[in-house]
Structures are given as C-alpha cells and as structure tokens.
C-alpha cells in the first residue's frame, strides 16, 4: 500500500473544504459582494507581489542597462553596499517597499471596478442562484467558493516553493517531489506565474546521488561522519564541511575530465581563431548547451544505484547525453584544449522545487582578472554564462579541481 503524502492531503483539504462548506451554507447578496471584493483584493495583492519580486530581481540583479540600471544607480550607495552579494537580504528588504508602491498604483486603477462591476455582478449572481431553488443555491454556493479554493491552494504552493528555496529541508523537498498534486500545481500555475527560468524541467539531481559517491571531509582531516543527504545538508548549511569528489559513477575526477582526439578536434574548431579566454569559454559553453541533452534516465538510475554507469567527458561527447557531472567534465576537457583556465565546482542547485546536489564550472578571464561562473546544464534552458544573479540558484560551491 502506498504511503499517504501529507502535502497532497493538505492541498486537497484546502481545496475541497471551502467548496463543501459553500454547498451547505446559504449565501446572501452581501456575502457575494464581500467575496467578490475579497477576491479582487487577493488578485491585486498576488499580482503586486509577483511584480515586486520581478522588479527586485531586475533592479538589483539584472541591471546591466536601461531603466533598471538608472534606478539602481539612484539607490543610495550605503544601501547598495549593504545589500551587495546578500541575495536573501535583498529580497527581504526590497520586496516589501516595492510592494507597497505597486499596490498603491494598482488600486488607483482597480478601485472603480468595485462600484461599476463588483456590485452589479453580485446582484446578478444572487438573483440567478436564488431562482434555481435550494439545489441551485447549493450548487451556486459550492461554485462560489471555487475561486477562493484555487487561490488558497496557489498561495500555499507558492509559500512551500519559497520556503524550500530559502530554508532547504530535504524531508519537505522529498514530500513535494512525491506529491502529484503539488507537481501539477507547480507545473501548471506556480512556475508559469513566476515566469521562472529555474523551472522543474531544468535538471538537477535532487536526491543524494552525489552523496552516494562522495565523502564528507572535515576541515581538520578527520574521518567522514554520516552519509545521508540530511546529515550532509545540515553540515553544509552550517559551513562545517568540505565536499570532495573521490569517486563518481565508476570514475575518478581525473578520469572523468580526460579528453579524446575527437573532443580535441571539436574544441579547436569551436574556438577557431579567438584569442580571449572569455570568448573561447563562451563558444564552448554555447556548443555544449546546444549539442548535449540531459539524460533523465541516467539520472533516475544514478539515484537508485550508480554502480556500472559510465560518466565523464568522453561518454558525454560520444553519446551526446549526460547529467550535470558529465556536462561539467566535458566543459573542462574542451577548455583545457582551448587553453582556458577552468574549474569543476560542486554544490547545491535549485530546481524550482528544491535544492539538490549539482555540478558546474568556473573559467578564468585573464583580460578581466576574475573567475566567471558557467553552468552548461542549466544553460540548456536559459543563459547561465556569467549570469548576474548566478548565486540566486547556486549555493555552497566547492572547487573540486582546477586546470
């Protein structure tokens, strides 16, 4: 017998209880008017909240040009300095301020709707339901609660999504991943509403597949202590461990990044006559994101038993498929051929539902004198080459190797 998923139970209860209540409770013209007004308020708030989050992201993290650059430059330097590099703090501080401003502007526009639409509509709905008798009133009462049920379920789903982002909880993430109700809500409503470029389709190993093939090395060199995802995540969040890849899917890290004549030849063709490190790195990034597909079947097998599964640059190149470790290994192999200084990095990546073990790269731009973050796996769905807010969905990075 399958275990009952508590997330599914909660979402179902939140959805159906108001509808059942509405079917058995007589409703008046005043209640309809109040409900419509309340629904309008909720829609205003939700729209304003989503818009405020979007504006915060554009102003503080994607302000390279245009009006958002001008707004950012006009924010006092002391505030910009305090928030720089503090992703969570930026959202906590900026969203409420922007939300108040957006709500004020939105309500200037929507206030006339109450008088000219809400009141007449309430009268019409009440008259229609009342004319259908007791059965009609019950059906009308149930249907009347439907928008509220949908809205409440959406809000709960949104809160769960935000909670797992800011406070990674393996057990809750597992329940959300296993809940068909939440998955449907996320795919059909939450992800489109947030217009997230970190949608669930972006592949991340949300289980302990890395944990199966890594050991936790304490800073003082003491033996590994605990191998479960919960133990690893707890230590990682407290900053007390260094993750070191010793063995992944049957290969060492050195074996994984090995090249082949075919890879070497392709890499040379990709970079052509380019001289700058950044341009070479971008061309290789672009080629991998366009030519390598994520292997969902392999990811599923790794989560169950990683033994006997080949990984690394050569495998990814020959099969044109792979998981994040394969993408990152191939990127290392090609960058080395092109003479670009490169790193392989592991940490946590955000899938849109939860944080999970992930691998990506960094390349060094000698012209700019800095390391650039690159994620070829996430790059199949959005631009993840030198992304301004890269750290919003990548955390606890540990450099596993540098070449």
**359 within 8 A of 346, measured Cβ to Cβ:** yes
Most confident of 16-30, 47-61, 124-138, 192-206: 47-61
Question: Which of residues 322 and 40 earns the better pLDDT score?
Answer: 322
Tell me, yes or no, whether 132 and 217 share the same domain. no
The last residue of a domain, from among 170, 194, 218? 194
Tell me, yes or no, whether 91 and 160 share the same domain. yes
Is the pTM higher than 0.85?
no
Look at residue 24 and tell me whether its pLDDT is greater than 90.
no
Question: Which of residues 173 and 106 earns the better pLDDT score?
Answer: 106
H/E run at residue 241: none
> Which tokens is 374 given?
């690159």
Q: Looking at residues 339-360, what average pLDDT do you find?
A: 83
Helix (H, G, I), strand (E, B) or coil at 62: coil
Q: Which of 358, 373, 372 is nearest to 325 (CA)?
A: 358
In a domain, 199, yes or no: no
Q: For 60-94, b where at least 16 C-beta lie within 10 A, e where not — what string?
A: bbbbeeeebeeebeeeeeeeeeebeeebeebbeeb
Half-sphere exposure of 136 (CA within 13 A, CB side): 9
Look at residue 174 and tell me whether its pLDDT is greater than 90.
no
Say which CATH number the domain at 321 has: 3.10.620
In a domain, 131, yes or no: yes
d(CA 109, CA 113): 8
In a domain, 203, yes or no: no
Tell me, yes or no, whether 98 and 180 share the same domain. yes
Question: Which of residues 68 and 310 earns the better pLDDT score?
Answer: 68
Tell me, yes or no, whether 43 and 176 share the same domain. yes
The last residue of a domain, from among 150, 168, 194? 194
Domain that holds residue 360: 210-402
The last residue of a domain, from among 194, 225, 258? 194
**159 within 8 A of 49, measured Cβ to Cβ:** no
Tell me, yes or no, whether 238 and 169 share the same domain. no
Tell me, yes or no, whether 168 and 292 share the same domain. no
Question: Which of residues 133 and 100 earns the better pLDDT score?
Answer: 100
In a domain, 292, yes or no: yes
Q: Rounded to whole angstroms, what are the CA distances from 43 to 23, 66, 141?
A: 24, 29, 20
In a domain, 201, yes or no: no
Helix (H, G, I), strand (E, B) or coil at 368: coil
Tell me, yes or no, whether 220 and 190 share the same domain. no
d(CA 237, CA 290): 34
Q: How many domains does the chain have?
A: 2
Tell me, yes or no, whether 177 and 230 share the same domain. no
Most confident of 13-27, 99-113, 266-280: 266-280
Tell me, yes or no, whether 137 and 285 share the same domain. no
**Confidence band of 378 (pLDDT split at 50, 70, 90):** confident
**Residue 379: is it exposed, middle or buried by C-beta count within 10 angstroms (0-12/13-18/19+)?**
buried
Contact residues for 365 (Cβ-Cβ < 8 A; gap 6+): 276, 277, 278, 281, 371, 372
Q: Looking at residues 364-385, what average pLDDT do you find?
A: 89
In a domain, 332, yes or no: yes
d(CA 322, CA 358): 13
d(CA 226, CA 58): 41
Question: Which of residues 313 and 130 earns the better pLDDT score?
Answer: 313
**332 within 8 A of 342, measured Cβ to Cβ:** yes
In a domain, 202, yes or no: no
Angle at 177 between CA 172 and CA 179, to 5 degrees: 95
* Tens-digit pLDDT profile for residues 40-86: 777 888 788 888 888 888 888 777 778 888 888 888 888 888 877 66
Tell me, yes or no, whether 164 and 26 share the same domain. yes
Tell me, yes or no, whether 105 and 249 share the same domain. no
Look at residue 199 and tell me whether its pLDDT is greater than 50.
no
In a domain, 145, yes or no: yes
Tell me, yes or no, whether 145 and 189 share the same domain. yes
**Which of 38-47, 59-68, 160-169, 287-296 has the lowest average pLDDT?**
160-169
pLDDT value of position 376:
93
Contact residues for 300 (Cβ-Cβ < 8 A; gap 6+): none
**Confidence band of 302 (pLDDT split at 50, 70, 90):** low
Look at residue 214 and tell me whether its pLDDT is greater than 50.
no
> Which tokens is 223 given?
């033996």
């Amino acid at each position: 017998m399958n275990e009952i998923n508590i997330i599914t139970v909660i979402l179902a209860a939140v959805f159906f209880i108001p509808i059942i209540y509405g079917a058995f409770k007589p409703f008046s013209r005043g209640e309809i008017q109040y409900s419509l007004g309340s629904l309008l308020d909720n829609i205003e708030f939700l729209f304003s909240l989503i818009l405020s989050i979007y504006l915060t992201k554009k102003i503080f993290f994607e302000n390279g040009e245009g009006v958002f650059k001008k707004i950012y430059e006009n924010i006092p330097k002391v505030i910009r300095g305090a928030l720089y590099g503090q992703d969570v703090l930026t959202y906590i501080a900026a969203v409420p301020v922007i939300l108040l401003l957006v709500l004020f502007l939105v309500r200037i526009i929507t206030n006339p709707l109450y008088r000219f639409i809400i009141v007449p509509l309430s009268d019409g709905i009440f008259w229609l339901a009342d004319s259908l008798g007791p059965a009609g009133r019950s059906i009308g009462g149930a249907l009347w609660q439907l928008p509220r049920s949908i809205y409440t379920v959406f809000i709960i789903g949104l809160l769960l999504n935000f909670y797992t982002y800011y406070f990674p909880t393996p057990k809750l993430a597992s329940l959300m991943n296993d809940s068909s109700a939440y998955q449907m809500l996320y795919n059909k409503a939450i992800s489109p509403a947030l217009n997230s470029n970190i949608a669930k389709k972006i592949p991340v190993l949300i289980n302990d597949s890395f944990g199966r093939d890594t050991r936790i090395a304490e800073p003082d060199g003491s033996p590994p202590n605990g191998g479960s995802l919960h133990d690893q995540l707890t230590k990682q969040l407290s900053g007390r461990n260094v993750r070191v890849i010793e063995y992944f899917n049957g290969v060492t890290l050195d074996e994984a990044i090995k090249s082949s004549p075919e890879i070497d030849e392709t890499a040379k063709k990709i970079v052509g006559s380019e001289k700058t490190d950044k341009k070479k790195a971008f061309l290789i990034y672009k080629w991998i994101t366009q030519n390598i597909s994520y292997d969902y079947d392999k990811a599923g097998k790794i989560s169950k038993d990683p033994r006997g599964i080949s990984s690394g640059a050569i495998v990814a190149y020959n099969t044109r498929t792979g998981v994040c470790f394969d993408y990152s290994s191939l990127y290392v192999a090609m960058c080395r051929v092109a003479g670009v200084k490169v790193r392989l990095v592991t940490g946590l990546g955000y899938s849109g539902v939860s944080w999970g073990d992930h691998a990506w790269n960094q390349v060094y731009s000698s012209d700019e004198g800095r390391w650039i973050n690159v994620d070829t796996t996430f790059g199949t769905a959005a631009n993840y080459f030198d992304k301004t807010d890269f750290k919003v969905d990548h955390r606890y990075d540990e450099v596993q190797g540098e070449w």
